[in-house]
Amino acid sequence: MTSLADLAATLKALHRKGDPVVLPTAWDAWSAGTAVAAGFAALTVGSHPMANSLGRTDGEGMTYDEAMARVAQITAAAGVPVSVDIEAGYGLPAERLIEGLLGAGAVGLNIEDTVHSEGGRLREPQEHADFVAALRAAADAAGVPVVINARTDVILKKIGDEADRVDRAIARLRLCAEFGADALYPVGFHDDATLRRLTGELPLPVNAIAHPATGELAALAAAGAGRISFGPTWQGALTERSNELLARWH
């Protein structure tokens, strides 16, 4: 069996600026198996679609233990490197988060700066970078080079003045890079110019989000993305198609 350390190294090596790894965003064993059968070399697990599949809400409406129980099913079905959106960390210390992640067989994580367990406040830039550093230290102590994808919600949630919003997102993510991140996620659907600026000014591979039905891999690659994921849009597209099919029967 491939070791977790080897899976983590494989996942990190797939991140290449301008030649992005596409990580279909799965939520259960079926979706993970479907993506692997389609030829994808690694996956991410999205908190939003996973919460939907458990009858919970996004924004840490499920517990960390519930999430990791589902992730264990996904990694067993997938057999490829899996990264997990652990939201803001469920109010847990970094050591507990890494222990749970590795126990479930995953080797990467997204960590965002919106703290759901504290009323949705935004972590301060250094506070978020320090949390990234704690996750890195916990992963190092466990002997697995977990791929840390540091996320900021500044652009997505339109926080602060629009004039310097991208500047502030870049500053936050640069700090995360200094403190141990492997990839950077200025989450949101960006126009081409904004994405090119982000990929040009950030020092690590940048995660772009895409809709599987309307996104263009070549365009995102040309803009310099190093990683592409779908968020809840794959599950959403399947929901739309399912509604069409089921509508014929009532």
**Dihedral pair phi/psi, residue 246, rounded to 5°:** -70, -25
Average pLDDT on 117-142 reads 97
> Is the model's pLDDT at 1 over the cut of 70?
no
What is the pLDDT confidence band of residue 172, given thresholds at 50, 70 and 90?
very high
Specify the pLDDT at position 92.
97
Angle at 140 between CA 139 and CA 141, to 5 degrees: 90
pLDDT in tens, 34-87: 999 999 999 999 999 999 999 999 999 999 999 999 999 999 999 999 999 999
Kindly report the average pLDDT of the chain as a whole number.
97
pLDDT in tens, 214-233: 999 999 999 999 999 999 99
Average pLDDT on 4-10 reads 97
| CATH code for the domain of 131 | 3.20.20.60
Of 125, 103, 232, 122, nearest in space to 177 by CA: 125
10's CB contacts (< 8 A; 6+ apart) are 41, 42, 81
Average pLDDT on 149-175 reads 96
Average pLDDT on 100-123 reads 96
Average pLDDT on 122-142 reads 98
Specify the pLDDT at position 35.
98
Domain count, the chain: 1
What is the pLDDT confidence band of residue 184, given thresholds at 50, 70 and 90?
very high
> Is the model's pLDDT at 134 over the cut of 90?
yes
**Dihedral pair phi/psi, residue 44, rounded to 5°:** -120, 155
> What residue numbers bound the domain in which 221 lies?
4-247
Global confidence as pTM: 0.96
